Structure 1
């Protein structure tokens, strides 16, 4: 039986409660239930946040959250893909439990249990603004306004609760923030606690910057990752992907090198995006990229030189989109501070998964390798929660739902796969905290052609099984090989470790009722 305990701040005194509103009936004037502001971006990786990694970019507002609150060093997703990750977050369950396996074939079942529904049933106001990406319309929210599909960076469309699609003038990151602040200030019932999900399109491909930021970072030269020119030796699945910067990053769609007579697979999609701009925006955009485009085609780069040129352009545009995102996180923090709400509000910042910034020569995500499975997670903690600085315990995006519920004093449903992070936020370090994480990626064949796989990760080792049209295993020692270049599976020195990890994997598959299981007898070396 899962137990629920929650802390409320009452004039500096900590009260422990097992039920938000039964306690509220008795002590209605003595405390305010915590609010939750959950900011999630798309494809924002920890490498591109200065509170995690100082090599590339400065993110002062995200760093504000980390310096004032906590930064999770070992935060991971259960399925590194936008829609499935969001379904895991909403339900507190792995993909096998919420049934949203991939972006290609699934529609989210809005009748199922989600944490916004449970919060709403217990007196919270709930809202989501921005990216939804689950094919169905949101349920369990008092208010929602979402972008269709991936959304557009410039003058985007939004679907409102009347199911009307309305185009709004502006840059999407600014608009989502404007709408979120407006809801908090003018539309919510201020007598109730609230949970607001601010879900950005940024920093998703194809990294279209806010017009005012076009010229930023053009003088910056990024160091190549050590494994940028990876040859994928001993890693069959890694060799068969289609997400390489050299081969698969589109010159027009991704890198804006549009030229008369030049064609690419995604050229028409890119032109549709540009057509959303007004004439002034379009002129500024084209004036900026025109000389870069002209110079690029004169150079006529090939091979490694072309790959490295593409990498530099990719990194610069990605950084520009991060800049707008960080600025808007600052706007949210400033609003909460100005209104005196920070002491009573849990502010969470995360992304739906990690992303490759040239590691292994890639962009995108999907694989169980570290850059993709790992996701940033920062929290500003309200009064009454004492943790500070770095938290090293392994956590997963299935843990968000139970955390929000326990914070609100609501019992966590027994069928949720995740565990509440509240003990960690109190500054505790439970000795029985999980020792392994389970991962399962299902979307194949599809964009980027990453093979289906599942696996288990401990603090030191990672075991992955690629299956379906392939049957191959990979083992990594994350201490000795943090960039995951050397597959140790089949090395007799690691036979006992493999056996132990397979046993752990089976236990987790049983625990989460994941029906795709390997046979120990068949797969034993």
Structure 2
């Protein structure tokens, strides 16, 4: 703890200056939990309606190739708040791991440089909701914690319960905010994470005649696109084109599907779904996304009503994706695109770029360095990410050559790990154990990741190049993962 305090003091000495000598933007981070990159109508998806997420995209830049650093909540969130890989921050799993001593968050850095820093909602590093802790939390790694619900001990499980009171607390806070300091506000929602309860059959009602009447958590009636709930099974969203599993999948991935493992058990529980159940899963997932979109709209309205929207740098994203039936995969803990890609929208404070679509490779580790850049703060941290200011002006291959994602998928066997590197055209993955432990996909010709090219001799040089990129990354980021090939 002393080491951490000294580092924070160093930031004050090196970075603090008169915040009022320049016009600093408010910085607003809004993120959901487990939102697939395509679960947003701005992406062209006709099966859901997200007008508030879409409005942010219209006011800013929508990045189409944004990746989480780890496809699971706690580790990904550790990267979001530190700009480091989850492993570097000390959080590889959803367990009791706290950020390592000496690690600074965006709250620490901006708080030492004149910002009021507030965290509202889900945290998950490790407490899902620190407000539940018996400790008297006043500051959370540099943030003031905004209380929003006094619930019974056994509640707090469902976003259908927590998200609306979270919105109310944030709106009330914005309505009463004294604008003496620029504000950093993180609003962390729970949904569409409630879809995890679908395979577990928790809290769902099932009509004897129609899967369409499946409603999450009994009393919560879900909205449907344009306010019209479909009445026939034929109106359910279709299965994705890559619904079928890849032939000869890596043993590491197959183990995740078949061996009992409570850490991310959704994929195992969903293995017995019929095609119609998968379509109902997707339908419910879209409805949950629409629920959280409504909450986001109220936050944006409050920012506008209080004159804060036009001087705010806003990032909207999610901590990781959801398999959404692609490869018959539910939830996360996978390197498939649906689990590792996230929606990502950045709205600039000067609105100099509006309604653009950007295909640069982006990492959630870029969030903290971006915020520091636009706040005019030098942190002195060796970030794994970099400011997205450069991505705005760079062509598709000018911002970065590749992005890396890490995976640790088993609490009881912590040797099980994987690494993924995505370049402009290809994605290469390698796992620590099991036969056929490599995958290579040509995302230009095969965006659904149907055909594994890792063992195709004509792609040997491509595989070799991507192994080299990972090895380079391992040295730069002090990663002890070893690439061992098990054919």
TM-score above 0.5: yes
2:477 aligns with one of 505, 509, 512: 512
Contact 2:256–2:268, Cα closer than 8 Å, also in 1: no
Which residue of 1 is the match for residue 221 of structure 2? 213
8 Å contact 2:61–2:345 — kept in the other structure? Answer: yes
The one of 202, 220, 227 aligned to 2:191: 202
TM score, norm. by length of structure 1: 0.75
Which of structures 1 and 2 has the bigger CA Rg? 1
1:66 aligns with 2:71: no
Q: How many residues align?
A: 428
- Counterparts of 1:43 and 1:121, CA distance in 2: 31
* Residue of structure 1 aligned with 2:120, choices 89, 109, 129: 129
TM-score, length-scaled by structure 2: 0.80
SS at match of 2:420: strand
Change (3 A) 1:247 1:143: closer
Instruction: Say yes or no: does 1:140 pair with 2:142.
Output: yes
* C-alpha displacement of 1:359: 0.4
Q: Deviations over 1:128-163 (max 9, x none)?
A: 111111125532113343889993237xxxxxxxxx
Taking a change above 3 Å as real, the CA distance of residues 345 and 329 of structure 1, as seen in their structure-2 partners, is same
- Equivalent in the alignment of 2:252: 237
Using the TM superposition, give the Cα deviation of residue 121 of structure 1 relative to its aligned residue in structure 2, in angstroms.
0.5
Q: SS state of the match for residue 36, structure 1?
A: strand
* Contact 1:34 1:346 survives alignment (8 Å): yes
Identify if the C-alpha distance between structure 1 residues 434 and 122 changes in structure 2 by more than 3 Å, giving closer, same or farther: same
> Cα distance, 1:231 vs. partner?
5.7
5+ residue gaps, structure 2, are 1-13, 131-139, 199-215, 258-263
Measured in 1, the distance between the counterparts of 2:161 and 2:378 equals: 40
Whole-angstrom CA distance in 1 between matches of 2:68 and 2:439: 19
Counterpart mapping for 1:311-322 below 5 A: 311-322=278-289
Q: Please state how far the C-alpha of 1:171 moved relative to its aligned partner.
A: 3.1
Q: Deviations over 1:156-205 (max 9, x none)?
A: xxxxxxxxxxxxxx83221111111112222x442000111100111112
Distance 1:231 1:429, change over 3 A: closer
**Counterpart for residue 190 of structure 1:** 179
Structure 1: state its 5+ residue gaps: 1-18, 155-169, 251-302
Calculate the aligned-residue CA RMSD, in Å.
3.0
Check whether the contact 1:423–1:429 (CA below 8 A) recurs between aligned residues. no
**CA–CA distance in 1 between the matches of 2:217 and 2:310?**
33
Alpha-carbon separation, structure 1, partners of 2:146 and 2:245: 44
Taking a change above 3 Å as real, the CA distance of residues 210 and 109 of structure 1, as seen in their structure-2 partners, is farther
- What is the rounded CA distance, in whole Å, between the counterparts of 1:184 and 1:96 in structure 2? 34
Moved more, 472-481 or 122-131: 472-481
CA distance in 2, matches of 1:89, 1:398: 6
**1:470 offset after TM fit, Å?**
5.6
Does structure 1 residue 407 correspond to structure 2 residue 399?
A: no
The structural deviation recorded for 1:466 is: 1.0
- Describe how 1:8-157 pairs up with structure 2 within 5 A: 22=17, 24=19, 28=21, 32-104=23-95, 106-109=97-100, 111-135=102-126, 138-145=140-147, 151-153=156-158
**Which residue of the other structure, out of 455, 458, 465, is the alignment partner of 1:493?**
458
CA displacement at 1:246 relative to structure 2: 8.6
CA distance in 1, matches of 2:387, 2:439: 31
Supply the distance in 1 between the matched residues of 2:30 and 2:154 (Cα, whole angstroms).
18
Matched, 1:333 2:323: no
**How far apart, in 1, do the equivalents of 2:377 and 2:218 lie?**
41
1:434 paired residue among 394, 400, 419: 400
Structure 2 Cα separation of the partners of residues 215 and 453 of structure 1: 38
